[in-house]
A and B are shown apart, each in its own frame.
Chain A
């Protein structure tokens, strides 16, 4: 008699558990277990339940792990439009783009933020986005509009550049680096940590600076620069966190022993902000030709069935309201020139002069080849 119930019970148990993901409240989250028992409303999927645009009550933003914003600012969008924002994070920019391409026909969301100029061409070639002539484009400088058809609209920009530990250079009586050329000089031996361009976005950006400076053909190519850097005992780490917190002298508790790191032009400002300091312990190298400009874009997925709501969200993300929230959350500069960057950025996050200029097409055409060549020289020779 007991036999049947348990045989039936276990599959049922699995099924109910599989079905009973909790609702998704924005704050004050109960644990999924406690919320168990209530099946979630079936998720709207474009294929099955086409929602008319003006009826959309929720819009899904797919973004990378670094996305951040104030709760209060996002709330304002919901108040103005009645539309809730559901956020999905799909890894870093590269992982996110792959996910988007693999889910092209059954998209995960409606709006995508976080594709940058190094991935732009690949994203456009994948035919993922619909063009949108957002009114806010009028306030965005033309130099950021790298997609003339506006499938992808510039949302923010930042600079990858060298950071150094001010105190270390004072104590050791060495002049702080002024140029990437300095890094291959004997007095800078063993002082630098960089990220692997094959796995890290700032790492790739820094390699692109060297490609722009030295080219990939001729007598002294970017690979020759890297060979010199390798001779000068450069340390390569996998990602930004282990470079900055693990190896950089000013990054953590002081266990690192490298006073120069590849980071962002805004990192000193972030140091001031997060540590409540009167002035930054680090400085960025902002001289001409020593930084790489990263522009991040927002776009509407072509297969989204909520085009109207998606356009509203893009308008909001490009509006000064949201744009002024960007600096202290994502540590990049807002693309909308009407947005105020705030005192912290004005004082401590100077925009570097004459960043490296590499067209997205050129990056897309050579990215793999450059990374492979770099890997061969730095790690396999």
Chain B
């Protein structure tokens, strides 16, 4: 682990630092050359495959086939699906914001023991495969789950009082479970570096806490809140596993409908039309976001966390902290805890039987993998994903953060494009890869490299969105002042830009890591079973009957959580040279 880390981490950071130094001193043409990196990547692995599958689907014999699309407007069902997709995503996002913002405040403003651990724990939901999360939820609030049994015993009830399975309620709960960490990390990371003196000044001038929040903190935070909200919204908007498994077959998002139409009904034209609709909506969302975002961004003075964070002092603060911990524990940690408990619960009482069984290849299967090998494969894919994401997100971020004075500029067009992969159907993209990447030199359909490439499509927007608010908000005067005082470009970057960027970059990296570990897009690719990752191993165990297979799948999920948590701690402690903690 340490070895991989040194091999990858060091050169990565060196390249990163260099690239930032270089970027600042480039000419306009050279900057555009660098900007070509994200454009070529997206062109090859996103635009080209998507257009190829659309062409095959909508123009089967070279002509536009309108007849096959009739079902779309003849069935009111599709309209219901679209409407449901939009509002459930909005509700879920509000839920994640409601739960995440107070926690972000706590993480941003205070120092307390166990903070790093807690922050790692609340990010874990993001990595869990849906089937496993479903099992955790059922173990907890299912008809025979812990909560219902407790309530039944407590109040002498005959029937389980909580019946959430296959309801909208459980969809919202699961979305909040998955997305709260996005809000906590993205907003919290940004908040931590906001200069508290501004608020202090307002307080001196007689502004009450409410006025301060409304007129100072919230406007300053807005870009980060907007970015986190957008990411959460897009995730909920394209929700698939949660809807199918927890929501049950009654609920369908556009994503679910695309899958059903393309894979089960073999109706590629309708699937393509739905995909276009889904992407169109994503673009519209992005347009709104970009407008709001540009209007709201103001140059900000950033401060080191050493100056913004303090220990919990007053009783009020301590009570608030306890309240927030409890809420996080109930919504985010209890399902994870239920899994941990289940992984030790064997028929012979508490024990390690399931874990031990993970190391035994009972059937001599060619696809057997020990948790260690699976973890190694997962980590390898994740590291490549992180590397790709940074290489693509950094030039993209600098491109977008350039102050543009014209009304129409390329960067305005590019901003939505960079987010589009998040709002695109995985099935459509998967089929796009099959038809587009089928010839050398791009015969990558079944290659291993396509796995981190697909992960990067989903992961790099997170890196981009994490660093963009900082880059945009960075006060140009700060840099100029440093230069006037005689610091050269390198020193400016080292002491001003990089420390500030480092923190937000690490937030992005945490998500890139998580997205790859959790294999968001695994189902859309042709896989090489010789390199099973942890999620693949979990799905394999869940594919065959037997309580023991199930127990092993849960144990493997706990290992996935543990490996991911260790990954977080390492990433957050990533340091290069004498760059200080900011």
User: Residues on A close to B: CB < 8 A?
Assistant: 2-3, 6-7, 9-11, 13-14, 17-18, 21-22, 24-26, 29, 31-34, 40, 42-43, 45, 47-48, 65-66, 68-72, 74, 87-91, 94-95, 98-99, 102-103, 106, 108, 122, 196, 198-199, 235-239, 241-242, 244-247, 250-257, 263-264, 267, 270-271, 273-276, 328-329, 331, 368, 371-372, 375, 378-380
Contact A329 B363 (CB under 8 A): yes
Chain A residues within 8 Å of B345, by CB = 253
CA distance A290 to B131 in the complex (A): 29
How far apart are B473's CB and chain A's nearest CB, in angstroms? Answer: 26
Q: Is the contact region of chain A dominated by helix, strand, or loop, or is it mixed?
A: mixed
How far apart are B435's CB and chain A's nearest CB, in angstroms? Answer: 5
Chain A residues within 8 Å of B25, by CB = 3
Contact B528 A24 (CB under 8 A): yes
Residue from A26, A273, A372, A379 in contact with B530 in the complex, judged by beta carbons closer than 8 Å: A26
Chain A residues within 8 Å of B145, by CB = 255
CA distance A274 to B447 in the complex (A): 33
Closest to B11 in A: A13
Closest to A261 in B: B545
Q: A103-B434, A271-B545, A275-B546 are in contact. Are A256 and B264 (CB under 8 A)?
A: no
Chain B residues within 8 Å of A253, by CB = 139, 342, 345, 547, 550-551
Q: Which of B287-295, B396-404, B438-446, B571-579 forms contacts with chain A?
A: B438-446
Contact A68 B546 (CB under 8 A): no
Contact A10 B391 (CB under 8 A): yes
Is B367's beta carbon under 8 Å from chain A? yes
Q: Is the contact region of chain B dominated by helix, strand, or loop, or is it mixed?
A: helix
CA distance A6 to B14 in the complex (A): 11
Chain B residues within 8 Å of A274, by CB = 544-549
How far apart are A98's CB and chain B's nearest CB, in angstroms? Answer: 6
Give the residues from 224 to 250 in chain B that come closer than 8 angstroms, CB to CB, to chain A: 244-245, 248-250
Is B119's beta carbon under 8 Å from chain A? no
Q: Enumerate the 7 nearest inter-chain pairs by beta-carbon distance, A residue then B residue, closest first.
A: A274-B546, A31-B380, A106-B438, A238-B244, A71-B366, A270-B545, A70-B364
Contact A88 B263 (CB under 8 A): no
Closest to B530 in A: A24
Chain B residues within 8 Å of A89, by CB = 526-529
Contact B384 A32 (CB under 8 A): yes
Residue from A10, A32, A252 in contact with B37 in the complex, judged by beta carbons closer than 8 Å: A10
- What mask results when residues 409 to 434 of chain B are scored 1 for a CB within 8 Å of chain A, else 0? 00000000000000000000001001
Chain B residues within 8 Å of A48, by CB = 440
Query: Which of A7, A47, A102, A199 counts the most chain B CB atoms within 10 A?
Result: A102
How far apart are B519's CB and chain A's nearest CB, in angstroms? Answer: 13
CA distance A379 to B144 in the complex (A): 25
Contact A88 B446 (CB under 8 A): yes
Chain B residues within 8 Å of A270, by CB = 544-546
- 13 residue pairs A–B, Cβ–Cβ below 8 Å: A7-B22, A11-B37, A21-B448, A29-B531, A31-B379, A34-B380, A88-B526, A236-B249, A241-B542, A253-B139, A253-B345, A255-B138, A331-B545
Closest to A242 in B: B245
Contact B363 A70 (CB under 8 A): yes
Q: A235-B166, A252-B135 are in contact. Are A10 and B364 (CB under 8 A)?
A: no
Contact A31 B249 (CB under 8 A): no
- What mask results when residues 448 to 488 of chain B are scored 1 for a CB within 8 Å of chain A, else 0? 11000100000000000000000000000000000000000
Question: Given A31-B4, A199-B249, A264-B545, list of 4 further CB < 8 A pairs?
Answer: A2-B21, A13-B391, A270-B546, A378-B249
Contact B530 A25 (CB under 8 A): yes
Chain B residues within 8 Å of A368, by CB = 265-267
CA distance A339 to B131 in the complex (A): 36
Contact B266 A122 (CB under 8 A): yes
Closest to B149 in A: A255
Q: A47-B439, A235-B166, A379-B249 are in contact. Are A32 and B365 (CB under 8 A)?
A: no
CA distance A317 to B203 in the complex (A): 79
Contact A256 B530 (CB under 8 A): no
Query: Which of B26, B166, B549 counts the most chain A CB atoms within 10 A?
Result: B549
Is B211's beta carbon under 8 Å from chain A? no
Closest to A65 in B: B543
CA distance A18 to B547 in the complex (A): 41
Chain A residues within 8 Å of B439, by CB = 45, 47, 106
Closest to B77 in A: A380
CA distance A199 to B260 in the complex (A): 7
Chain A residues within 8 Å of B561, by CB = none
Q: A14-B388, A87-B529, A88-B527 are in contact. Are A94 and B449 (CB under 8 A)?
A: no
CA distance A48 to B138 in the complex (A): 52
Chain B residues within 8 Å of A95, by CB = 263
How far apart are B463's CB and chain A's nearest CB, in angstroms? Answer: 15
Chain B residues within 8 Å of A275, by CB = 546-548
CA distance A6 to B34 in the complex (A): 10
Chain A residues within 8 Å of B553, by CB = 245
Closest to A72 in B: B364
How far apart are B545's CB and chain A's nearest CB, in angstroms? Answer: 4
Is B217's beta carbon under 8 Å from chain A? no
Contact A252 B550 (CB under 8 A): yes
Is B555's beta carbon under 8 Å from chain A? no
How far apart are A86's CB and chain B's nearest CB, in angstroms? Answer: 8
Q: A3-B22, A252-B135, A255-B142 are in contact. Are A68 and B367 (CB under 8 A)?
A: yes
Chain A residues within 8 Å of B244, by CB = 199, 238-239
Contact B548 A42 (CB under 8 A): no
Chain A residues within 8 Å of B34, by CB = 7, 10
Residue from B4, B139, B443 in contact with A45 in the complex, judged by beta carbons closer than 8 Å: B443
Chain B residues within 8 Å of A43, by CB = 440, 443, 447
Residue from A17, A87, A199, A264 in contact with B388 in the complex, judged by beta carbons closer than 8 Å: A17
CA distance A48 to B248 in the complex (A): 47
Closest to B267 in A: A368
Q: A14-B391, A238-B245, A254-B144 are in contact. Are A98 and B266 (CB under 8 A)?
A: yes
Is B84's beta carbon under 8 Å from chain A? no
How far apart are A237's CB and chain B's nearest CB, in angstroms? Answer: 7
Is B68's beta carbon under 8 Å from chain A? no
How far apart are B436's CB and chain A's nearest CB, in angstroms? Answer: 10
Chain A residues within 8 Å of B387, by CB = 17
Residue from A6, A66, A69 in contact with B366 in the complex, judged by beta carbons closer than 8 Å: A69
CA distance A14 to B36 in the complex (A): 12
Contact A238 B143 (CB under 8 A): no
Residue from B19, B56, B249, B545 in contact with A244 in the complex, judged by beta carbons closer than 8 Å: B545
CA distance A263 to B376 in the complex (A): 34
Give the residues from 369 to 406 in chain B that come closer than 8 angstroms, CB to CB, to chain A: 373, 376-377, 379-381, 383-384, 387-388, 391, 395
Residue from A25, A71, A196, A371 in contact with B265 in the complex, judged by beta carbons closer than 8 Å: A371
Closest to B246 in A: A242
Chain B residues within 8 Å of A371, by CB = 264-265
Contact B391 A98 (CB under 8 A): no
Chain B residues within 8 Å of A45, by CB = 439-440, 443
